[in-house]
């Protein structure tokens, strides 16, 4: 990070980490004292507590960087999503599938969940290492996110038990699944195209698509093409199997699947966590289509094919048997529009009020702490304070790197493969 960026990250990092540790402590307290006696009560409390932390990230997007998230959907989908309902509790449980286009797709999902009153009960299936991230990973663990090792032999029971636990969830929740299994990058697309060409298979242009053979891996987006190179094909197979398992287990108590497509207008820069921390704005377009879960096929093979067809429906053949063009996204690229009505989701002041509360609380606490300890009156105290600030900067740097798609293992593998070729 450059020095100016570090100067921005430091105060924001202090705000997020200190408030997050308080939230983690409160979550741990209720986990020990309430959950053993009433899981439902714990979930209701944790939903509110977790939102006090996660809404800070919503504030970063809405108010700090001024990123505009524009929602496109039909009126029925919009109504059932429960956006801006009076009681802000959402309308229904939902599985959310989405294309993994940018570094902050998950954050875009959180924004939609917050507008629908489901932020505190937004769930996802994530890789196991995520739960070790300070503050945010710990908060996700208390909120019952599912963490997988991307090995079906190890994850099958974890996924099954985790999904079955949601049967009695007391509030509407969204469970997000990225069935592509990995974030879209030019390197991954190039590797997928090269592999598809070598196998005389349809070539993807704008997105990746998982194979439909059941073998396993998985939160709230869309794809087209058919092949992953070996470095991330397994991830896609795992995530697709996760979707099939989720549909089988959750069909009795989850009424809908939200098919979400994220796209960036051609005249806008792709938003990243680093750009957001710098306060740099952008525009993100999101299309949502609701599918009745009861209408999905009744067999595993049928559900797997349905998922593939959802993404292939965005494509049409340019040269029979060889080239697929991602029609839905290509049409978007040419028009910068999804061709349906834009729904107003606004920019609620709730996140601004919560962040203001944390700033006042932490500023007062810091003032009292330094006055009581007289920490800054000695060189040793100054050194300890400087060390703490440096640690905060390092942790935030780790967060930013963790969010970057080009830092992922599959992206590195794709680059290495391209260099060898």
Over residues 272-295, the pLDDT tens digits come to 888 898 889 999 989 898 999 999
pTM above 0.85, yes or no: no
> Residue 21 has what pLDDT?
95
> Residue 377 has what pLDDT?
83
Task: Pick left, alpha or beta for residue 162 (phi over 0 → left; psi -120 to 50 → alpha; otherwise beta).
Answer: alpha
Q: Give the other-Cβ count within 10 Å of 170's Cβ.
A: 13
> Residue 126 has what pLDDT?
84
Q: Which of 161-170, 182-191, 408-417 has the weakest average pLDDT?
A: 408-417
Per the structure, the count of domains in the chain is 1
Q: Give the other-Cβ count within 10 Å of 268's Cβ.
A: 16
Higher pLDDT, 191 or 134: 134
- Mean pLDDT, to the nearest integer, of 181-197? 56
> Residue 42 has what pLDDT?
97
Per-residue pLDDT of 67-80, as tens digits, reads 999 999 988 888 88
Strands of 68-72's sheet in order across: 146-148, 122-127, 174-177, 94-98, 256-263, 283-292, 68-72, 342-343
184: pLDDT strictly greater than 70: no
H helix or E strand, kind and range, residue 318: strand 316-319
223: pLDDT strictly greater than 70: no
CB 203 within 8 Å of CB 79? no
1: pLDDT strictly greater than 50: no
Categorize the per-residue pLDDT at 230 as very low, low, confident or very high, splitting at 50, 70 and 90.
very low
> Residue 149 has what pLDDT?
82
- Mean pLDDT, to the nearest integer, of 118-135? 87
Higher pLDDT, 413 or 160: 160
> Residue 239 has what pLDDT?
57
> Residue 266: which residues within 8 A CB-CB, separation 6 or more?
333, 336
Domain of residue 68 covers 3-420
């Amino acid at each position: 990070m450059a020095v100016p960026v570090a100067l921005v990250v430091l105060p924001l990092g202090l705000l997020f980490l200190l408030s997050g540790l308080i939230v983690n402590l409160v979550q741990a307290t209720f986990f020990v004292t309430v959950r053993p006696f009433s899981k439902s009560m714990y979930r209701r409390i944790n939903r509110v507590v977790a939102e006090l932390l996660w809404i800070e990230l919503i504030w970063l997007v809405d108010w700090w960087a001024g990123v505009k998230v524009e929602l496109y959907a039909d009126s029925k989908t919009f109504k059932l999503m429960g956006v801006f309902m009076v009681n802000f509790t959402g309308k229904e449980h939902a599985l959310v599938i989405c294309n993994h286009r940018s570094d902050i797709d998950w954050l875009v999902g959180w924004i939609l969940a917050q507008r629908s009153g489901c932020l505190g009960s937004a769930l996802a299936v994530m890789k196991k290492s995520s739960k070790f991230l300070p503050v945010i990973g710990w908060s996700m663990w208390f909120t019952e996110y599912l963490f997988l090792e991307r090995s079906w032999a190890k994850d099958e029971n974890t996924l099954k038990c985790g999904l079955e636990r949601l049967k009695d969830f007391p509030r509407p929740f969204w469970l997000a699944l990225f069935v592509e299994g990995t974030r879209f990058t030019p390197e991954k697309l190039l590797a997928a195209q090269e592999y598809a060409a070598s196998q005389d298979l349809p070539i993807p242009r704008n997105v990746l698509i998982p194979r439909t053979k059941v073998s396993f891996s998985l939160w709230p987006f869309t794809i087209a093409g058919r092949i992953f190179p070996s470095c991330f094909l397994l991830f896609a197979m795992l995530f697709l199997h996760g979707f099939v398992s989720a549909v089988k287990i959750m069909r009795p108590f989850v009424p809908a699947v939200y098919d979400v497509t994220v796209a960036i207008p051609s005249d806008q820069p792709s938003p990243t966590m680093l750009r957001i921390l710098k306060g740099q704005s952008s525009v993100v377009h999101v299309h949502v289509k609701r599918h009745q879960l009861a209408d999905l096929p009744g067999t595993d093979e049928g559900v797997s094919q349905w998922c593939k067809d959802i993404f292939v429906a965005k494509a049409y053949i340019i040269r029979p048997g060889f080239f697929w063009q991602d029609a839905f996204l290509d049409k978007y690229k040419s028009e910068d529009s999804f061709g349906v009505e834009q729904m107003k989701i606004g920019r609620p002041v709730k996140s601004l009020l919560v962040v203001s509360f944390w700033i006042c609380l932490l500023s007062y606490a810091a003032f009292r702490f330094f006055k009581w300890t007289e920490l800054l009156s000695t060189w040793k105290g100054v050194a300890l304070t400087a060390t703490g600030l440096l640690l905060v900067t390092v942790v935030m740097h780790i967060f930013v790197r963790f969010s970057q798609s080009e830092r992922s293992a599959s992206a590195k593998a794709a680059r290495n493969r391209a260099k060898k070729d």
